[in-house]
Chains A and B, each alone.
Chain A
Amino acid sequence: DGGITQSPKYLFRKEGQNVTLSCEQNLNHDAMYWYRQDPGQGLRLIYYSQIVNDFQKGDIAEGYSVSREKKESFPLTVTSAQKNPTAFYLCASRDRVSQPQHFGDGTRLSIL
């Protein structure tokens, strides 16, 4: 089935540790996005990539990093510099400009 796969579903981070969230899509979409969702906050854009080997910061990029080495993959690293990482992280992709984004099922990150 075509879709967007996020893994793991649940992730725990220790203080001072970097963790990486995976996002893979087999929809052949050019653009990919990472959002953070906190209760009552809606979706906030962390990073996005419109093409392989290129990405831009979103509204809340501090403490996060990404790479886009392959069209189908857009991993997000939550670094130790992100002091409040507990949230629900959503990955999305879309075919091209003007098309809707489609979302994965999310990764819930918690602090130990």
Chain B
Amino acid sequence: GQQLNQSPQSMFIQEGEDVSMNCTSSSIFNTWLWYKQDPGEGPVLLIALYKAGELTSNGRLTAQFGITRKDSFLNISASIPSDVGIYFCAGQGGRDDKIIFGKGTRLHILP
């Protein structure tokens, strides 16, 4: 079945550093989504991308829909403590516009 490869699995960074994570797939998607999940909470939608090549920002977050429609990346600039959490990518497409989730990138910020 369809799978998303999300990397890295975890990251340890210093406050103020920039962060980059990505998702790749062997399948084409019509939509790429990025979510953030805090401990014990549900994922919250950060950015939705609908067109190949699209680059979208949401504050310090920037995400791009890969030109091949098989990948996407998320960048976080100047990280702050509240950025800690798990970031999920998701690709949407095909029959029923099914959504497939990556396994997440766990972001840790070192004191």
Contacts and interface: CB of A to CB of B under 8 A. Distances in A.
A16 interface: no
Interface in B74-111: 88, 90, 92, 96-97, 99, 101-104
A106 B40 contact: yes
A59 B98 CA distance: 12
A74 interface: no
Given A42-B102, A90-B42, A103-B42, A97 B31 contact: no
B33 to A, nearest CB: 5
B97 A98 contact: yes
A79 interface: no
A98 B33 CA distance: 11
Which of B42, B102, B103 neighbours the largest number of chain A CB atoms within 10 Å of its CB? B42
Contacts of B99: 101
A108 B103 contact: no
Query: Which interface class (under 10, 10 to 19, 20 to 34, 35 or more) fits B?
Result: 20 to 34
Contacts of A6: 42
B85 to A, nearest CB: 14
A45 to B, nearest CB: 8
Nearest to B89: A42
Given A97-B97, A100-B48, A106 B102 contact: no
A50 B102 contact: no
A86 B81 CA distance: 30
B88 A106 contact: no
Given A40-B103, A42-B101, A42-B103, A97 B96 contact: yes
B13 interface: no
A26 B103 CA distance: 29
A35 B104 CA distance: 15
A98 B35 CA distance: 16
Interface string A56-100: 000100000000000000000000000000000010100001101
Interface of B: 1, 30-31, 33, 35, 40-45, 48, 50, 88, 90, 92, 96-97, 99, 101-104
